[in-house]
Amino acid sequence: MTLSSLWQDKDPLILASTSVTRLKLLQDIFIPVDPVGPDINERGIEEILQAENTHPAQIALALADAKAREVAKNNAGRWIVAADQTLALGAEQFHKPNSIEQAGAQLKKLRGQTHQLHSAFVCYRGEERRFAHVETAQLTMREFSDTFLTSYLNAAGSRVTHSVGAYQIEGLGIHLFEKIEGNHSTILGLPLIPLLAFLRDAGLVEA
């Protein structure tokens, strides 16, 4: 199957994101993509929702929706997908660490615990939302030693600041885990199975 026979729309799908991982997920399944970075204050939106005790899954959905709406303003009639992800350990929500030291402190909190990754996406056509979905993965970190943690942080370097969990599950981060329950693409931040189901139903991907 070629890319041209799989995708049915005349224009590529717009990905309202600067995420290299999400872009690669779509490219790897032969979906033509135009990435457009949304200009929104994610942390500002998140702080308001957290103050209202919004569930982390709904925060992920709200952030995805804000990204799509922003990009839709300048892309009339185009199909847009936007996604976001939150990480929660009980009532505590985590963010991308600002430094390797902060990543280490975060991983110590997650060590030996089961945390949740909530991955949400929305699909818009122009300024109209057509679909929204949230999936949750459960990830259990093993009781790794402080010595291992130091080795991991040294090996991973600044990459630990690129994701909300301070790990890349598709790389070195897998060493941190004892058990993982959830779809791989959900853990990476864009649940592909429900996304593709919607795209087929909408006639955008060959069924």
Q: Which of 46, 141, 39 has the alpha carbon at shortest distance from 95?
A: 46
Cα torsion 97, 99, 102, 107 to 10°: value is: 70
> For 2-12, b where at least 16 C-beta lie within 10 A, e where not — what string?
eeeeebeeeeb
- CA dist 75 and 128 (Å) reads 11
Determine the length of the chain: 207
Q: Which residue numbers are catalytic?
A: 84
Phi-psi region of 159 (alpha: psi -120 to 50; beta: other; left: phi over 0): alpha
| Helix runs in 73-113, H state only | 100-110
